[in-house]
Amino acid sequence: MLSRGFLVEIVPDYEVEKRKYNGLAVIPPCIERKEVINVVKQGYVFPPKSTRHILRRKIPDVNIPLHELVK
């Protein structure tokens, strides 16, 4: 796509709905949890950006210096 002069962007769902695009949006089908588990059990992985995680609860901000994590 890039070699043909297209701009390729990965944007969150809400951005696609918000922006006015003059082009094409590729929206892959939803992948069910059980499908992910079956693929992983077979030793395969999905390509980057093909799965997403929706968290129902707010995760607290945690600020830990990197040097603390490598101890």
Q: What is the pLDDT of residue 22?
A: 66
Strands (E) across 1-71 are located at none
Supply the DSSP string of the chain, one letter for each residue. Answer: -GGGT-------HHHHHHS--SS----PPP--HHHHHHHHHTT--PPTTS-----SSPPPP----HHHHT-
* Each residue's pLDDT tens digit, 7-64: 777 777 677 667 766 666 666 677 888 988 999 999 998 887 777 677 778 878 888 8
CA–CA distance, 9 with 2 (Å, rounded to integer): 10
pTM of the model: 0.39
Q: What is the pLDDT of residue 2?
A: 63
